[in-house]
Structure formats: structure tokens, C-alpha cells
């Protein structure tokens, strides 16, 4: 009864909290510095102050019709992310350019690899810090064969489906060689699209692009010599150059993911109701990334 009353009280308090607001758009002439930091994925994680996909898309779309806006300078520090979210952001930037006719520039800080580089193909100009890491042009799909883990935990997964590949990737089920071939075909198609994006976006011959798009990472100097970026410079210079280009100063929207009231409730609840070893294992597996991610260099993730 006491726990029930506690949760009723929390529900009442929660109803008093508004959803986090997105950063406002400029009301005087300015360009927006939009941070793309952390993994490029959807949703928000408790305690994560990194990339917020929905907020970023909403903000960019609002800028397109804002007469006070003069352009977008992306501050990028990301190891990559999923194909879906990277492509959504790239398309949103292209739509912004088409509607507004304003410039989009990219600045690469410590890293801008894989999905980050994918997004950069929407930019008119790419500047990278000399110490930046970029590239990782390629696609990787990760599935988790948890069949042995489940066997050790005494859990048997029973899947009833209508075809050999229908339950592919199901938790606790072994992945077969033919299923691996299906996945390989899928990522091969996405990889082809990525290579063509780079070839078109950087005006590099397709065959030459294929040679450098083998998933490896590049230093900023190497990327510059290969034509993958336009300029080596620091952030202050990139910022002042964009100010000179647009004739206005920077506007910094608040687009970082914030912890909602219900996120806090979820964390508190997890502490009140402890889980068994099997529950913890299943929860951890279910929390692993889904979908087809772009290749992310492990050495770039801290």
C-alpha cells in the first residue's frame, strides 16, 4: 500500500512537469551553431547530455522559414551512428538549403567519422581541426548471438515463424550462415549508397572513392589530401570565417538531451525492484543497439 501511495504521489508531481523545451530560434539576424556530439541515434538516454535527434531535426526545420536565420555551422564531434538517423539529418540539411538558399558549413572537432561524415555530405564546405579523425566510410551491422549465454542461464528460446529468415536476430537464437549472407547483402547496398554520396558530395571519381572507402579512419591531413575535406583550421577561425561569410554573429541553441521527470522515475523504480540475474541479462541484451549502424571505429569511442 505504501509503495502504491508513493507512486500515486509521483504521478501527481509528474503531471506538473512540462516536457523539455527545444532551443528557440534566433529572433535577430544570426547563424546557428548546431552541435552534433556523441553517437547519432534516436531517443534519449538517462543522464545523456549528447545528441538529441528529434530536437535537432525540429530546430533545423524551424530555421528554414525563419527570416532572422543566415546559415548553419555544424560543430561535429561524433564517431558515427545509424544509417537511418544519419540520413534523416542529411536530408533535413538539404531541405533547409533548398528552402532557404543559405549556407551549411561543417567543422570537425576531435572526430567526425562514419555517420558524421555521411551527414557532412550535405555541407557546402568542410573544415577540420588538424588533430581531427574522420573517414570510416563504410557500413557494419552487428547482431548478437546470445544462444550460449541463454543456455548457461537455463533459458530456452522457442521461435515459431513462417520462414528461415523471419526470426533472424531473435534473442537467444543462433545466427546461421545463410542469415549472415542476407545481412551482408543489405549492408552491401547501404555501403554502395554511402560511397556514391561521397563521390557526388566531394566531386571525386567513383572508382577513386571506392579505393578510399574501405572503412578506415583518416587523419585530417590525410583527408585533406584525398579531397574528403576542404580546409584544415581551428574552431575560432572557422567561426570567424562563417561570421564574415554571413555578416552576422553566432546563435547557440540549447539542443542537448535533458533528463525528464519520467526518466528519473524509471531509474528510481529500477532500484526499488531488483532484477534476477536472468532479467538483468535480458535487459542488457534488449538495450543493445538495433538497426543497421554505420561503421564506427572502436578506438574512437571512449
Positions marked catalytic = 114, 166
Question: What 3-state DSSP class applies to 258?
Answer: coil
Backbone angles phi, psi at 3, to 5 degrees: -65, -40
Exposed, middle or buried by CB within 10 Å (0-12, 13-18, 19+), for 215? middle
DSSP string, 262-301: HHHHHHHHHHHS---HHHHHHHHHHTS--S-BBP--GGG-
Contact between 213 and 137 under an 8 Å Cβ cutoff? The reply is yes
Report the half-sphere exposure of 113 (CA within 13 A, side-chain side).
29
CA distance 262 to 43: 14
Amino acid at each position: 500500500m505504501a509503495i502504491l501511495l508513493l507512486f500515486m504521489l509521483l504521478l501527481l508531481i509528474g503531471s506538473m512537469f512540462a516536457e523539455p523545451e527545444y532551443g528557440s530560434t534566433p529572433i535577430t539576424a544570426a547563424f546557428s551553431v548546431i552541435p552534433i556530439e556523441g553517437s547519432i541515434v534516436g531517443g534519449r538516454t538517462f543522464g545523456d547530455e549528447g545528441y538529441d535527434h528529434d530536437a535537432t531535426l525540429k530546430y533545423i526545420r524551424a530555421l528554414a522559414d525563419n527570416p532572422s536565420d543566415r546559415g548553419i555551422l555544424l560543430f561535429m564531434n561524433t564517431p558515427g551512428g545509424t544509417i537511418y538517423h544519419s540520413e534523416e539529418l542529411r536530408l533535413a540539411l538539404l531541405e533547409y538549403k533548398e528552402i532557404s538558399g543559405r549556407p551549411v558549413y561543417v567543422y570537425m572537432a576531435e572526430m567526425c567519422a562514419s555517420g558524421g561524415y555521411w551527414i557532412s555530405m550535405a555541407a557546402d564546405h568542410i573544415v577540420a581541426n588538424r588533430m581531427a579523425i574522420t573517414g570510416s566510410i563504410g557500413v557494419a551491422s552487428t547482431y548478437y548471438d546470445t544462444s550460449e549465454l541463454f543456455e548457461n542461464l537455463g533459458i530456452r528460446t522457442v521461435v515459431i515463424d513462417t520462414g528461415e529468415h523471419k526470426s533472424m536476430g531473435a534473442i537467444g537464437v543462433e545466427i546461421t550462415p545463410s542469415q549472415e549472407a542476407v545481412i551482408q547483402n543489405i549492408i552491401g547496398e547501404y555501403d554502395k549508397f554511402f560511397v556514391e554520396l561521397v563521390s557526388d558530395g566531394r566531386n571525386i571519381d567513383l572508382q577513386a572513392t571506392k579505393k578510399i572507402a574501405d572503412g578506415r579512419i583518416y587523419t585530417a591531413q590525410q583527408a585533406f589530401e584525398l579531397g574528403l575535406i576542404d580546409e584544415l583550421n581551428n574552431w575560432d577561425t572557422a567561426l570567424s570565417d562563417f561570421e564574415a561569410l554571413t555578416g552576422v554573429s553566432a546563435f547557440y541553441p540549447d539542443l542537448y538531451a535533458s533528463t525528464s521527470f519520467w526518466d528519473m522515475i524509471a531509474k528510481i523504480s529500477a532500484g526499488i525492484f531488483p532484477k534476477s540475474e536472468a532479467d538483468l541479462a535480458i535487459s542488457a541484451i534488449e538495450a543493445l543497439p538495433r538497426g543497421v549502424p554505420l561503421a564506427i571505429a572502436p578506438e574512437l569511442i571512449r
